[in-house]
A and B are shown apart, each in its own frame.
Chain A
Amino acid sequence: MSEAKGILKKLLLRGGGKSRLAGAWITLVAGCLLLFVSVELWSTFRDILDGRRSQDSLGSTFLTISKKVEDASMADKNATTISDQELTTITRAPQVQDAGKLTPANFKVAASLGYGPMSFYTLLFLEAAPDRFMDQIPGRWNWKEGDRTIPIILSRDFLNMYNYIFAPSQGLPLLSEESVKALGFTLTMGEGPMQQEYQAQVEGFSDRISSVLVPQSFIDYGNRHFSSNGTVHVSRLILKVKDPSDKAFTGFLSDHHYTTNAEQLRFSKMRSVVEAVSAGTGVIALLLMFVSGLVFVLFIELTMAKAQESVRLLLQLGYSPAQLRLFLTRRYVPLMLSAVTLSLILTVLLKSLAAQRLKSLQLEIDLFPGLYVWIAVALSCLLLLWQTIRSISRSLKQ
């Protein structure tokens, strides 16, 4: 630093005091940090609630719905069929974010395992759901024509019923998820000359869909090749619903004679609560950011007010307002930017810590702040820069 700059610093900046400067800077760091963290919280909550990052979506509820079977419709095999038109109507229903068909296997399926006295044989049903509705997608969840092994996702309820009800009463061994995954069994598809055998492997368990799920590509293939009665009738839909307890949604279901698990309709309004909390945090953070920006600007103005005599004499000696403005800007803008930078670094650290903690809860979030945080950083910088330069110019004019 040249001698003149040292003298200018002495004349213009000494009035602020180091402790006041540190206080104003720390307040600015705290304000920026709160703002960035709350924007990050809001953004992450939003992504999690909307299920953008993983197959698990905390804020939405997945429901399977079907048409009620009533006495009058018992004889009509197609009474429960849901048409494409009805699917479109449901997609537009209140609270519904997405809807998809659960496509059933329109052919006979039998599962068998082992030979002799230890053998096992049962007729079975299969269904396929669009991947976007699955709560988990195993690594091997692909099937293409020619593949002899079919991956299966089993409802966890089925395994629980076996382990806790069926196996104890029949004196059968209990099965862990890992042991079930290790067991391969044979699936026999179709009847007569069209019959074919495939190997099946359980790849995962679902809490969301009570069914025996196979890849959509296999169901479509099977319905074309093993079905003897043509058209596939879809009777069950899976819906992604924002708030299933909403009266408009439950009213829609009952008006159209759809049935679902009533318990799920009483699903807590967690999303609304989370949204309200993150919005509230955002408002408080904005206020704190405003206050911390104000503290920083007031510090500049206080320092300049104390240096008013020096400023006046410097101008009388021939220093131009632009020279003094440049000197002060070079002093305060890096301070302001360093506060924003430190806040951003702390936000990144907190985010990566949170990401590691959430990973153990099966929630995947990005390690780095999202776009909204960068927008908040850019806006904060612009706003603080404008405030700082304006405050310096105003002090020089006085």
Chain B
Amino acid sequence: MKLRTSGLVPIPLKDRLSARQSDIWSQSLELEKGRYLSVLAPSGTGKTTLIQSLYGIRRDYEGAIFWGDQNLRTVTEEELAHLRSTQISIIFQDMRLFPDCTAWENLEIKRSLTNTVSPEQVSEWMLQLGIADKKNAPAAQMSYGEQQRLSIIRALLQPFSFLLMDEPFSHLDKRNTRIASGLILSVVQQHNAALLLADLDENDFFPYHQTLQL
């Protein structure tokens, strides 16, 4: 399975993007399993739009996105759910946690969907990222940094071939970023998955095979 885009242009940004050169918008992009891609995206160039379009949350674009041989625009809700639970995982920039649920419930609701990661493993990862003591705390009462670490663990609780990340460490300090990226890399390698990270600046969070300008 690989990710392909062709002539992809987000309609709301169409006028603004035509004035500048991009390696992704209006171009063809291919990403295969096991490859690590960094997307550098200055503010306003459509970083979140790209991640959300690839994940099937937004459909206001021209061109096409293919996951394997499935055109994202024509897949059914059920096929999309299958892709999201077995092939593509995501770390949202805005975390998107259930605010009334505890940290553990936020992870369990994702873990139980495929049941491919044990609860013990989840506890171990929480300990590793320093949020084990927040297990029973409602997500709404956690700091942004803690919420971000929670959303990182949540993204790893399913089988995946592609991991999409939208500024995944924006609320973390260097030490926590290093620990979190180390955890992500080990799980990505375990799945032999591809990763696509969109961030504002150049970074060395992962050993990228390719860096593209948005």
Contacts and interface: CB of A to CB of B under 8 A. Distances in A.
Contact of A2 (B55, B82, B110, B112): B112
Given A2-B112, A3-B112, A4-B112, A318 B81 contact: yes
B120 interface: no
A310 interface: yes
A320 B56 CA distance: 14
Chain A interface mostly: helix
A317 B78 contact: no
A253 to B, nearest CB: 73
Given A316-B84, A317-B84, A318-B113, A11 B98 contact: yes
A318 B158 contact: yes
Contacts of B84: 316-318
B98 A321 contact: no
B108 A3 contact: yes
Contacts of B112: 2-4
Nearest to B85: A318
Contact of B109 (A4, A315, A320): A4
Interface string A2-41: 1110011011000000000000000000000000000000
B78 A321 contact: yes
Interface string A293-327: 00000000000000000100111111111110000
A317 B113 contact: yes
Contacts of B98: 11, 310, 313
Question: Interface size for chain A: under 10, 10 to 19, 20 to 34, or 35 or more residues?
Answer: 10 to 19
Contacts of A323: 81
B14 interface: no
Interface in A316-343: 316-323
Contacts of B108: 3-4, 7
A321 B77 contact: yes
Nearest to A5: B112
Given A7-B101, A11-B101, A317 B77 contact: no
B95 to A, nearest CB: 10
Interface in B79-97: 81-82, 84-86, 90, 96
Contacts of B114: 318
A317 B113 CA distance: 9
A319 B57 CA distance: 14
A391 B110 CA distance: 26
B146 interface: no
A11 B110 CA distance: 13
B140 to A, nearest CB: 13
B109 A8 contact: yes
B155 to A, nearest CB: 10
A314 B97 CA distance: 10
A314 B78 contact: no
Contact of B81 (A3, A4, A320): A320
A317 B101 contact: no
A377 B74 CA distance: 42
Nearest to B112: A4
Contacts of A318: 81, 84-86, 110, 113-114, 158
A3 B135 CA distance: 15
A322 B78 CA distance: 7
B96 A320 contact: no
Contacts of B105: 3, 7, 10
Contacts of B96: 313, 316
Nearest to A315: B81
With a 10 A CB-CB cut-off, give which of B55, B100, B154 has the most chain A CB atoms: B100
Contacts of A4: 108-109, 112-113
Nearest to B77: A321
Contacts of B90: 316
Contacts of B82: 320
Contacts of B86: 318
A162 B137 CA distance: 96
A375 B96 CA distance: 49
7 contacts: A3-B108, A3-B112, A4-B109, A4-B113, A10-B100, A11-B98, A316-B96
Interface of B: 55, 57, 77-78, 81-82, 84-86, 90, 96, 98, 100-101, 105, 108-110, 112-114, 154, 158
Interface of A: 2-4, 7-8, 10-11, 310, 313-323
Given A3-B105, A318-B84, 11 more contacts: A2-B112, A4-B109, A11-B101, A314-B109, A317-B110, A318-B85, A318-B113, A318-B114, A318-B158, A320-B81, A320-B85
